Structure 1
């Protein structure tokens, strides 16, 4: 038996979630004593295959169809590969693209689909865990089928590491051009974003505790001293103090920096869902009972208007 993970790329770059999917696939393959197969559709597939050749991956399938994501091409290509490989579990990213083609593939192959999964195991049948009500409740789903499909939430698993010795195989697909009804004509950044906070190694994130927009200056000063990127929780975005592309959280972006400094952020579950995968979390809040301290590696209970300038001075 096998587990098949479908990688994701955008504008010439393999996305980090692709390597996380390999970790998920290896975990499931160990449960069923099977193999891990990875697939990449379109773009410079040989270069992507080299990055996907991580420890624990047995085979990488390359499908040279197009350059960027296309719903109709992906649906046909992934469905045809899945029929050929016949994996026990088809693993896809819970991303804009993944949620576009995953239901179509599952429907075409008559496989049950579980989306936005945060934990998985396989013991005679697949068991998937999802979060509901703003991540306040976890629910466990037993999939009563010998073949299933899932989409996995980014940043819930570590990226696969090491160098593997996978076999790389080109897979020929038969695309019905008449069924390809859409095409990619270009990309437009939402809100004209100047940075991608998902790529930042260090994020200085600010919440409603900052009080007024003019107080953001001390946050920018700290970020400059650290060589960090500024992000924010939703209230500041709603106020128009920072652009939408800087929002961290369930309705914003999921980030996994090396260091995440939360300034004046209480730690609502919607925000935590977007940053809990950070390697090191530092929280600054004057409320000792703020939920952010439950997940912080380091916590400072004090007035941020005293702490942040003091940190800036030390780092300068």
Structure 2
């Protein structure tokens, strides 16, 4: 397999998603392995502004398509298919996100490409090998792609965001949209429980787990979050108990987060939770069990009772 890489960026409600910058890093890695160039596609929204923001080191060309404001399955599928026909890349790389998993199968089907989802790494030495995780991230597997062209989705948080200023050529791509094939439109957004909190956008997350014992004790952790100017999140048991809404859950069945600082309080570090936060810049863990798996990935650890440590930290930061 050889050739260029086409990466499909993502935005929502006027802002680029973090995964768009991670796609540049992943796409550059793959393009280098395949011996080709990295092309970005910016579809819908403020495409000119988005293209300027995405013009970073490693990008060779950016293609903009000014068609609508928000993501639309039918528009994206048509545009990506036409871009593929124009560029003939060796790989199409898309985010393993709600939107990406919406259109990626349709694109792969239209183009008759093998689709490998949720990639966490890849390499190519004649044959493309894609690394994935299975069984709740307990097992790491390698998939060999026996094809000249492939469609991939990458897991958010696995690659660092691209930095630096690039000099890629930015050009408008004249896609032909069959309006009769556009069967749906975005009419609005409704945040699920928890108001307008988006833990994926937080710089600092204070996350609470089973060790908090009782619902009323969450106030203790919320006080620390307030003192830090942080956002409160949690592991799955807290959500399953109904103590916090679903949009606060970090993990494989929740949200993947990459904050500057992640403070795990009373969280043991099950693989499903770690899969959602291991991309954090700095991880701090507080747990009474010195053998808790969370300490394996933590940059700093406190082995002590959270009911003693958290109030002391809150007092210091206040």
| TM-score for the superposition, normalised by structure 2 | 0.98
Aligned partner of 2:11 in structure 1 is 9
Aligned partner of 1:305 in structure 2 is 307
Q: Give deviations 1:28-63, integer Å, cap 9, x for gaps.
A: 111122111000111110011001100010100001
Distance apart, 1:125 and its partner CA: 2.3
Q: 1:97 aligns with which of 78, 96, 99?
A: 99
Q: Give 1:194-205 correspondences, 5 Å limit.
A: 194-205=196-207
Given that residues 210 and 264 in structure 1 are in contact (C-alpha distance below 8 angstroms), is that contact kept between their aligned partners in structure 2? yes
Distance apart, 1:251 and its partner CA: 1.0
Q: Look up the SS of the partner of 1:96 in the other structure.
A: coil
Q: 1:172 aligns with which of 153, 171, 174?
A: 174
Given that residues 2 and 88 in structure 1 are in contact (C-alpha distance below 8 angstroms), is that contact kept between their aligned partners in structure 2? yes
Unaligned residue ranges in structure 2 (runs of 5+)? none
Distance between the aligned counterparts of 2:91 and 2:127, measured in 1? 10
Q: Look up the SS of the partner of 2:255 in the other structure.
A: coil
Q: 1:142 aligns with which of 144, 161, 165?
A: 144
Distance apart, 1:193 and its partner CA: 2.7
Aligned partner of 2:112 in structure 1 is 110
Q: Give 1:120-199 correspondences, 5 Å limit.
A: 120-199=122-201
Given that residues 23 and 157 in structure 1 are in contact (C-alpha distance below 8 angstroms), is that contact kept between their aligned partners in structure 2? yes
Q: 2:62 aligns with which of 60, 63, 68?
A: 60
Q: Look up the SS of the partner of 1:274 in the other structure.
A: helix
Given that residues 285 and 304 in structure 1 are in contact (C-alpha distance below 8 angstroms), is that contact kept between their aligned partners in structure 2? yes
Q: Look up the SS of the partner of 1:164 in the other structure.
A: coil
Distance between the aligned counterparts of 1:214 and 1:76, measured in 2? 51
Given that residues 193 and 243 in structure 1 are in contact (C-alpha distance below 8 angstroms), is that contact kept between their aligned partners in structure 2? no
Unaligned residue ranges in structure 1 (runs of 5+)? none
Question: Do structure 1's residue 35 and structure 2's residue 58 form an aligned pair?
Answer: no
Q: Look up the SS of the partner of 2:120 in the other structure.
A: strand
Aligned partner of 1:226 in structure 2 is 228
Given that residues 125 and 146 in structure 1 are in contact (C-alpha distance below 8 angstroms), is that contact kept between their aligned partners in structure 2? no
4+ runs deviating over 2 angstroms? none
Aligned residue pairs, count: 316
Q: Give deviations 1:263-311, integer Å, cap 9, x for gaps.
A: 0001111111110000010000001111111111111111111111111
Given that residues 193 and 245 in structure 1 are in contact (C-alpha distance below 8 angstroms), is that contact kept between their aligned partners in structure 2? no
Question: Do structure 1's residue 284 and structure 2's residue 286 form an aligned pair?
Answer: yes
Distance between the aligned counterparts of 1:244 and 1:130, measured in 2? 25
Q: Look up the SS of the partner of 2:189 in the other structure.
A: coil
Q: 2:76 aligns with which of 71, 74, 77?
A: 74
Distance between the aligned counterparts of 2:232 and 2:136, measured in 1? 24
| TM-score for the superposition, normalised by structure 1 | 0.98
Given that residues 63 and 171 in structure 1 are in contact (C-alpha distance below 8 angstroms), is that contact kept between their aligned partners in structure 2? yes
Aligned CA RMSD, in angstroms, stands at 0.9
Distance apart, 1:194 and its partner CA: 3.1
Q: Look up the SS of the partner of 1:165 in the other structure.
A: coil
Distance apart, 1:119 and its partner CA: 0.6
Distance between the aligned counterparts of 1:164 and 1:216, measured in 2? 45
Aligned partner of 1:273 in structure 2 is 275
